[in-house]
């Protein structure tokens, strides 16, 4: 299984356009600290790739990844489709950026599909440009190609703000994505947004060869302490990394390679010199980097 990390930042990216916090200021002063919105590309088979979550940065992410470049035909692209783990704007706005395609495959759970159809009205807005072919992502394996299948692990009923008050309380609003290679049995768990750690997720990460999970906030009080919110990390729908409610202790004993993504601009891990990187390393954990290639 071949994967490429296209981005590792939470909503707004790093730096965020209207933010002068230490993380954003540091990224402006040191361009190597910049991070694009969290996304992943996975090879389904020779010459075919799926992008996991279509971010506002998707055009630049494709250009920075030679395996995703078009050719040899004038409009021949290796991008086979987009898999969505939720309906948040920072994970879906990039779909509109792909409107030049004749058709586009979108893989999503039922509540995510309906939210995007009735909120941003993707079908109606993009219909004059490209045909959207929806495939439902669920808890049964969904083939993405002869070398890859996808499974959803429901983790939260957290709706995006534009969909508050719509739809049922369904944990399929936010899922962890399990990507498996049937021929080898290798698997990856990709979960950029985690509000809970259900048993099904625990079982998936214990069986995985690589785990890339929500690292939005370092600790529970970070959003309040930095002044970006009156809610805690968990209150904003993100389990923190550190502390009794955090994910680090859950990941520490796993056999898989374990990485964090979706880093908020307030997260001290955005500074490569911060001591917290050593704290992660001591537990066998790491922060993912934009452009990182992972082969399982």
Residue-wise pLDDT tens digits, 263-291: 999 999 999 999 999 999 999 999 999 99
Is residue 272 a part of any domain in this protein?
A: yes
Is the pLDDT score of 217 beyond 90?
yes
> pLDDT at position 101, please?
95
Is the pLDDT score of 165 beyond 90?
no
Burial of 139 (0-12, 13-18, 19+ CB in 10 A): middle
At 147, the pLDDT band (50, 70, 90 cuts) reads confident
Nearest Cα to Cα of residue 99 among 74, 120, 123, 117 = 123
Extract the tokens encoding 46.
């020779």
> pLDDT at position 32, please?
96
> pLDDT at position 166, please?
80
Question: How many structural domains does the chain have?
Answer: 1
Decide if 192 contacts 186 (C-beta within 8 A): no
Is residue 295 a part of any domain in this protein?
A: no
> pLDDT at position 168, please?
77
Mean pLDDT within 240-261: 95
Burial of 217 (0-12, 13-18, 19+ CB in 10 A): buried
Mean pLDDT within 40-68: 97
Decide if 24 contacts 18 (C-beta within 8 A): no
CB-based contacts of 162: which residues, under 8 Å, 6+ apart?
89, 115, 119, 120
**CATH value at residue 169:** 3.60.15.10
| Strand stretches in 29-130, DSSP E | 39-45, 48-52, 79-83, 103-108
Is residue 296 a part of any domain in this protein?
A: no
Domain span at 212:
2-290
CA atoms 58, 63, 66, 67: torsion sign: positive
Is residue 193 a part of any domain in this protein?
A: yes
List pLDDT tens digits, range 104-134: 999 999 999 999 999 999 999 999 999 999 9
> pLDDT at position 249, please?
95
- Measure the CA–CA gap between 93 and 57, rounded to whole angstroms: 9
Query: How many residues can be counted in the chain?
Result: 296
Nearest Cα to Cα of residue 111 among 39, 38, 174 = 174
Extract the tokens encoding 182.
């049937």
> pLDDT at position 64, please?
97
At 76, the pLDDT band (50, 70, 90 cuts) reads very high
What pTM was computed for the model?
0.97
> pLDDT at position 239, please?
97
Question: What percent of the chain clears pLDDT 90, i.e. is strictly above it?
Answer: 97
């Amino acid at each position: 299984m071949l994967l490429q990390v296209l981005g590792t930042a939470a909503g707004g990216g790093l730096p965020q356009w209207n933010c002068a916090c230490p993380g954003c200021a540091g990224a402006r002063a040191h361009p190597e600290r910049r991070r694009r919105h969290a996304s992943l590309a996975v090879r389904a088979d020779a010459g075919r790739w799926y992008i996991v979550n279509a971010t506002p940065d998707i055009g630049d992410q494709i250009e920075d990844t030679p395996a995703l470049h078009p050719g040899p035909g004038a409009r021949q692209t290796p991008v086979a489709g987009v898999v969505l783990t939720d309906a948040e704007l920072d994970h879906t706005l990039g779909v509109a950026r792909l409107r030049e395609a004749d058709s586009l495959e979108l893989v999503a759970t039922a509540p995510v599909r309906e939210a995007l159809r009735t909120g941003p009205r993707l079908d109606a807005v993009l219909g004059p440009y490209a045909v959207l072919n929806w495939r439902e992502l669920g808890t049964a394996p969904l083939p993405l190609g002869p070398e890859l299948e996808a499974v959803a692990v429901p983790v939260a009923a957290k709706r995006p703000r534009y969909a508050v008050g719509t739809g049922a309380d369904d944990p399929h609003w936010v899922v962890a994505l399990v990507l498996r290679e049937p021929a080898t049995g290798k698997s990856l768990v990709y979960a950029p947004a985690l509000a809970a750690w259900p048993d099904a997720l625990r079982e998936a990460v214990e069986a995985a060869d690589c785990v890339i999970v929500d690292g939005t906030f370092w600790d529970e009080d970070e959003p309040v302490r930095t002044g970006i919110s009156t809610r805690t990390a968990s209150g904003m729908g993100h389990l923190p990394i550190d502390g009794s409610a955090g994910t680090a202790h859950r990941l520490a004993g796993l056999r898989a390679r374990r990485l964090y993504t979706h880093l908020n601009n307030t997260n001290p891990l955005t500074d490569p010199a911060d001591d917290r990187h050593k704290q992660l390393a001591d537990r066998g954990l790491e922060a993912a980097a934009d452009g990182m290639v992972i082969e399982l």
